[in-house]
Chain A
Amino acid sequence: MDCHQEILDEYVYEFLANEEAATKGEKCVFDEIYLPVLKKQGADFINLSVGGDHVAQVMYSASEFRFWDAHKKLDVLNSELEAGCQSFILCRTAQDIDQAIKEKKVGLLATISGGRPLMGKQNLNLLSSLRSLYRMGLRGLQLTGNGRNRLGDGVAQNRSRGQLTSFGEKVVKEADRLGMVIDTAQLSDAGFYDLISLSKNPIIDSHSCAKKVNPHPRNIDDQRIKAIADRGGVIAVSFWAALVDQEKEVPDAEDLIRHIDHIVNLVGIDHVALGPDYCAYQTPVDRDILKGFANLGPDYGEFNRLTPVQSEKYPGYVEGIWYGIRKSDFISGPETQESFPEITQSLLNHGVSESECQKILGDNMLRVYREVLDQ
């Protein structure tokens, strides 16, 4: 399982370019664009972000009207399914997860990486936004990006020492009631411990590493790791070079495994997973048409593909947090999505048993999903 992936921009783009054929079922864009990517990656299940706080997360097709944007991306998935696409399931229940695994289809759990899509009208904090996205299939919820929103503060806003807002509290309680997987990635420390006291469900961190191993502001300390594990939750380690080892120009899989080791030593094997957070894919679509749009291109990396830190507005930053400008934003070996087989091999070489590998690769996170969706 890939526990954190932004929806492929090329996929959204191609769907929109072929909207009529796709909605009529004459063409399944997912099969053409997404399946080859996932096949190379070796991923069967994805925690798929369909929007969030930062517009740069999804460069080409994103809108600053984030509520609308998240609906657009859920519509792409729903339309393909309604048109008869058989290759994936947008999981709404634990049974859907079981079915996806049984029928060897790609399982998707739709999430948002930040609560800005829920904010609605500025002077009203209404939960209709959350419920309407839930009805369209949203089952995950990361509360903040790095910055502030009307639910709480992200890690770049630790200065405020703010807990969740009254709206944040309402959202968490409603998400618990509906059965949504709450994700604490990028949330400030004060917000995190507030959330722990408010939510009754297991919670996840979909893409962070251990601060003890690499003291980057986006990473989480031992106390936070323990708090997630105590709740029966899971930490999925990010493959971002800055989070894995900020001292190295190009960290590798061994550096990533140091984080996994640290978490396993701290809280055991049942609370760790993989959350690559890739935004650099090789897809079957020729991206030349996309180049030049907010893109500094190959000067900032070897991929002809933009990641958030390569944004021309704030090179190296994502909303207040410095990630640096590197040759690649990801660890080496698995620079692209073709990663999981190599990670598995590295884990085995490192002496992790097959059954432990299975937990890390997917079973741990599936356990949480089933528990939360099934309530």
Chain B
Amino acid sequence: MKLSDRAQKINKESIFINAHDHMMFEYAIRQALGEPEIFKNRYAPILRQGSINAIVTSVGGNSPCTCNLTDYLEFGSFEQIDMLRLEAETSDSFRICHNAKDIKATIAEGKLAVLLAFEGARAMEGRPEEESLCLLRTFHRLGLRVNCICGGGRTQFADGMGENRANAGLTTFGVKLIEEMNRIGMLIDLTHMTDRSFFDSLEVSTKPVLVSHIGVRAICDTLPNLSDERIKAIGKNGGVIGMEMVKTELKKGSQETGEVVNFDQVIKHISHIVDLIGTDHVCIGLDYDNFELVHNIHRAMCPTPGSIEGFYTGIPKGDHMLNHPNHPGQADTIAEYLIQAGFSDEDIKKVLGGNMMRLFKETLI
């Protein structure tokens, strides 16, 4: 796709933030293979090509595949943070950022901004009977700034969509976690949460929240996607919703049929949210995981094909990402898609990163 001058100008003037990235799936394996400066050599060129300035990348989560392939989730998360920090210390290509100011300064230096996130908070549960927040604060000190509390299943804090059966809200520990995240400055990500835990979290949190990678049910009726009720609640909370590029959550059944789906389908999701709550609450959270060394790693490591801890994600035929853009390196075309759908320059900049920057300003210290 050839970009118009207008799209190129928007990309140049925007801070483009990918609110949910999974490069560590592959980074950690390359690290084990002894590759040097993996971010600089492998990912920075792709991000530059896609006109992306900042990523929120997952360095831990609820399953071994997100934690350097170990069952000891804490250790795996510490390892992954350490790898990235080691490279960042001497890198002229990126910096690990802790707040909006850091992001701006890093981009002004011509570097890429990386924020650290979890997808599932099991690594900070600690001893089950203690309800201690020491691991939350420890990870915060190491730079963790976005915490998606649930993956598919149950944590000590709240339940993920795969655990709808229990129909449970936040635990007492979950309430403490959110209060402490509000206090120390960590962004709450409500992707994957069950209804009750989701609305409980919005009640408890005094700060706006993120739903980093998702679609909407009105367009694609899947379990993880957002109901209108949830979208309105996010609007009320002042939060932001990230649109992902995984086919299953965008067009139902498209992974199984292999049907061609491009960003026009995402525009439908975005327009639905905009109709409900306006343009201040949408961003891009690609959730790309189709790397050269690892395709679908979380699915490959699951004993139930097509399902992650109780929620079905489909068994893809071939590539399960959008056909176009198919890769973060093609993310620069998102501006063009938005132009063609009739969005104004100002609104496109909000979607690409302006809304996320506002959220960072309001939540991170």
Across the two chains, which residue of chain B brings its CB closest to A158?
A: B172
CB distance from A235 to the nearest CB of B (A): 25
Tell whether, in the assembled complex, residue A64 and residue B167 are in contact, meaning their CB atoms are under 8 Å apart: no
Tell whether, in the assembled complex, residue B310 and residue A160 are in contact, meaning their CB atoms are under 8 Å apart: no
Number of A-B contacts (CB under 8 A): 89
Task: Return chain A residues, CB-CB under 8 Å to B64.
Answer: 123
The 8 closest A-B pairs by CB, nearest first: A162-B168, A123-B63, A160-B168, A162-B166, A166-B165, A165-B166, A319-B129, A160-B169
Tell whether, in the assembled complex, residue A163 and residue B168 are in contact, meaning their CB atoms are under 8 Å apart: yes
CB distance from B31 to the nearest CB of A (A): 22
**Secondary structure class of chain A's binding surface, majority of residues:** loop
CB distance from B43 to the nearest CB of A (A): 26
Complex Cα distance, B62 from A287, in Å, reads: 42
Tell whether, in the assembled complex, residue A166 and residue B310 are in contact, meaning their CB atoms are under 8 Å apart: yes
Flag whether B145 is at the interface (Cβ < 8 A): no
- Contact digits for B298-313, partner A, Cβ 8 Å, 1 yes 0 no: 0000110000011000
Which of B73, B162, B303 meets A122, CB within 8 Å? Answer: B73
CB distance from B178 to the nearest CB of A (A): 13
Tell whether, in the assembled complex, residue B175 and residue A54 are in contact, meaning their CB atoms are under 8 Å apart: no
- Name the interface residues of A141-180: CB closer than 8 Å to any CB of B: 145, 147-150, 152-153, 156-157, 159-169
Flag whether A121 is at the interface (Cβ < 8 A): yes
Interface size class of A (residues with CB under 8 A): 35 or more
CB distance from B165 to the nearest CB of A (A): 4
Also in contact, A121 and B71, with CB within 8 A (given A162-B159, A166-B163): yes
Also in contact, A168 and B166, with CB within 8 A (given A121-B71, A148-B156): yes
A-B contact pairs, 11 of them (CB 8 A): A123-B64, A123-B151, A123-B302, A157-B171, A157-B172, A160-B169, A160-B171, A162-B166, A162-B169, A164-B165, A167-B154
Flag whether A270 is at the interface (Cβ < 8 A): no
Tell whether, in the assembled complex, residue A124 and residue B168 are in contact, meaning their CB atoms are under 8 Å apart: no
Which of A124, A145, A163, A319 meets B165, CB within 8 Å? Answer: A163
Complex Cα distance, B131 from A125, in Å, reads: 23
Flag whether B36 is at the interface (Cβ < 8 A): no
Which of A54, A157, A164 meets B129, CB within 8 Å? Answer: A54
Task: Return chain A residues, CB-CB under 8 Å to B54.
Answer: none
Of listed A125, A152, A164, residue having the most chain B CB within 10 A? A125
Q: Other CB < 8 Å A-B pairs besides A122-B122, A160-B171, A162-B166, 7 of them?
A: A55-B129, A124-B303, A150-B154, A159-B170, A160-B169, A161-B196, A166-B162
- Contact digits for B160-191, partner A, Cβ 8 Å, 1 yes 0 no: 00110111111111110000000000000000
Flag whether B128 is at the interface (Cβ < 8 A): yes
Tell whether, in the assembled complex, residue B166 and residue A164 are in contact, meaning their CB atoms are under 8 Å apart: yes
Flag whether A284 is at the interface (Cβ < 8 A): no
Flag whether A139 is at the interface (Cβ < 8 A): no
Of listed A55, A64, A156, A157, residue having the most chain B CB within 10 A? A157
- Contact digits for A110-130, partner B, Cβ 8 Å, 1 yes 0 no: 000000100001111110000
Tell whether, in the assembled complex, residue B175 and residue A159 are in contact, meaning their CB atoms are under 8 Å apart: yes
Flag whether B127 is at the interface (Cβ < 8 A): yes
Tell whether, in the assembled complex, residue A64 and residue B127 are in contact, meaning their CB atoms are under 8 Å apart: yes
CB distance from B296 to the nearest CB of A (A): 15
Task: Return chain A residues, CB-CB under 8 Å to B169.
Answer: 159-162
Complex Cα distance, B165 from A165, in Å, reads: 6
Tell whether, in the assembled complex, residue B168 and residue A169 are in contact, meaning their CB atoms are under 8 Å apart: no
Complex Cα distance, B302 from A122, in Å, reads: 12
Which of A116, A159, A160 meets B128, CB within 8 Å? Answer: A116
CB distance from B36 to the nearest CB of A (A): 32
Tell whether, in the assembled complex, residue A148 and residue B171 are in contact, meaning their CB atoms are under 8 Å apart: yes
Flag whether A320 is at the interface (Cβ < 8 A): yes
Of listed A122, A126, A145, residue having the most chain B CB within 10 A? A122
Which of B162, B172, B174, B302 meets A156, CB within 8 Å? Answer: B172
Flag whether B235 is at the interface (Cβ < 8 A): no
Across the two chains, which residue of chain B brings its CB closest to A162?
A: B168
Across the two chains, which residue of chain A brings its CB closest to B61?
A: A123
Flag whether B353 is at the interface (Cβ < 8 A): no
Complex Cα distance, B174 from A228, in Å, reads: 31
Tell whether, in the assembled complex, residue B170 and residue A123 are in contact, meaning their CB atoms are under 8 Å apart: no
Tell whether, in the assembled complex, residue A53 and residue B171 are in contact, meaning their CB atoms are under 8 Å apart: no
- Name the interface residues of B33-68: CB closer than 8 Å to any CB of A: 62-64
Tell whether, in the assembled complex, residue A165 and residue B71 are in contact, meaning their CB atoms are under 8 Å apart: no
Across the two chains, which residue of chain A brings its CB closest to B120?
A: A123
Complex Cα distance, B153 from A114, in Å, reads: 19
Across the two chains, which residue of chain B brings its CB closest to A122?
A: B122
Task: Return chain B residues, CB-CB under 8 Å to A167.
Answer: 154
